[in-house]
């Protein structure tokens, strides 16, 4: 069962303006990164279902975070089918992100009152996701489908669209600001924020500094 309700998750995502995206096969490493995210000033973590046993790791990460980092809104990403979505929700994921839109996953998340943020690359996909009850969609891959100009263009006739660009966004004000100006409520940040080489050497001070710098970049981008 989720520890944060749907409204609170949406409020946190919009308030933070940046969602760290991360996976590591080592539980202790994942815990350290989660602590760095909170220490740096962000409140969400999308733990991606990319590696073998990722959901097994999530099963350990969720109860630990509830005790040690109760303010962290921990969710799951890279969910492509209903079975994986159901397992992640049962484990306590507070939100479900996906690289593509699935009607079955959307219906499941609605039934469980869990935010579902599917990857979309066209206005038709976006409108379909909204019709299925999605509060947000993910523009993916954001740097390959037209960038901020694409979001600005589709929001002209459809200003209610809230899309989180993911893929190619850097944790700098220069990279984030055009997306915010185009109407994005937040951006997704993966390896450009949580670089493998820094995580692999366990430089947690540097990870915390990068997260704090991202918080500052979001503030600057918002003016």
Phi-psi bin for 168: left (phi > 0), alpha (psi -120 to 50), beta? left
- Token pair 């019709």 is found at 131
Q: Of residues 46, 87, 162, 220, which has the active-site annotation? A: 46
Respond yes or no: is residue 52 known to be catalytic: no
- With contact defined as beta carbons under 8 Å apart, do 202 and 36 qualify? no
CA 101/CA 2 separation, integer angstroms:
22
Query: Is 46 designated active site?
Result: yes
Q: How far apart are CA 73 and CA 94, in angstroms?
A: 6
Indicate which residue of 138, 177, 206, 219 is catalytic: 138
How many CA atoms lie within 13 Å of 47's alpha carbon, on the beta-carbon side?
A: 33
Q: Annotated active-site positions, please?
A: 46, 138
């Amino acid at each position: 069962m989720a520890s944060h309700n749907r409204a609170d998750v949406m409020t946190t995502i919009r308030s933070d303006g940046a969602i760290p995206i991360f996976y590591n096969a080592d539980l202790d490493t994942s815990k350290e990164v989660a602590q760095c995210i909170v220490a740096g000033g962000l409140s969400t973590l999308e733990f991606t279902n990319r590696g073998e046993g990722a959901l097994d790791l999530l099963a350990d990460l969720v109860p630990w975070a509830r005790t040690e980092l109760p303010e962290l809104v921990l969710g799951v990403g890279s969910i492509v089918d209903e079975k994986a979505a159901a397992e992640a929700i049962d484990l306590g994921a507070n939100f479900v992100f996906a690289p593509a839109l699935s009607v079955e996953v959307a219906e499941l998340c609605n039934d469980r009152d869990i935010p579902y943020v599917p990857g979309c690359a066209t206005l038709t996909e976006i409108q379909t996701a909204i019709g299925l009850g999605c509060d947000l969609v993910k523009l993916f891959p954001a740097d390959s489908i037209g960038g901020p100009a694409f979001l600005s263009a589709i929001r002209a006739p459809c200003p209610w669209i809230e899309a989180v660009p993911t893929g190619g966004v850097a944790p700098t004000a220069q990279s984030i600001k055009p997306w915010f100006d185009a109407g994005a409520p937040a951006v997704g940040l993966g390896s450009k924020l949580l670089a493998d080489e820094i995580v692999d050497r366990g430089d947690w001070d540097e990870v915390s500094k990068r997260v704090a710098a991202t918080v500052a970049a979001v503030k600057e981008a918002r003016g």
